[in-house]
Amino acid sequence: AQTVTQSQPEMSVQEAETVTLSCTYDTSESDYYLFWYKQPPSRQMILVIRQEAYKQQNATENRFSVNFQKAAKSFSLKISDSQLGDAAMYFCAYRTTYTGTASKLTFGTGTRLQVTL
């Protein structure tokens, strides 16, 4: 079974600075998807960024980018030019590409990001 580990329960960053959230995972599959979701205080789950394992290029979405190290099974999220609105819980998630399992997600335990002035 796949597992996802987020070893940083809490992180803090100053506004306009850069922060990196860590995520490691364990799988025996060679092709899969990885995601970062954001959960603000409103509790809504918002997709931040996705990465397909067969793509070597790291995904980027505006101020959000990932460092995908497939051999190391590492998938970190970098937030540049941090804003107050980035304060939230961030969850790393794994999904197999095997369509027979209805694209189930396995989540890490989350990292709470605080953004300070």
Partner 1 sequence: SQTIHQWPATLVQPVGSPLSLECTVEGTSNPNLYWYRQAAGRGLQLLFYSVGIGQISSEVPQNLSASRPQDRQFILSSKKLLLSDSGFYLCAWSPGPQPQHFGDGTRLSIL
Distance in Å, CB of 108 to partner 1, minimum: 6
Residue 53 binds partner 1, judged by CB under 8 A: no
The residue with tokens 């189930």 is 104
Q: What is the distance between the alpha carbons of residues 84 and 76, in angstroms, rounded to a whole number?
A: 20
Residue 102 binds partner 1, judged by CB under 8 A: yes
Could you tell me if 25 and 38 are in contact, meaning their C-beta atoms sit under 8 angstroms apart?
no
Stretch that binds partner 1, among 14-22, 65-73, 74-82, 106-114 (CB under 8 A): 106-114
Region 82-101 residues binding partner 1, contact defined as CB under 8 A:
91, 97, 99
**Which one of residues 109, 113, 115, 117 is an interface residue with partner 1 (CB under 8 A)?**
109
**Per-position x/- string for 8-37, each x denoting binding to partner 1 as judged by CB under 8 A, each - no binding:** -------------------------x-x--
Which positions lie near partner 1, rule CB under 8 A?
A: 33, 35, 42-47, 50, 91, 97, 99, 102-110
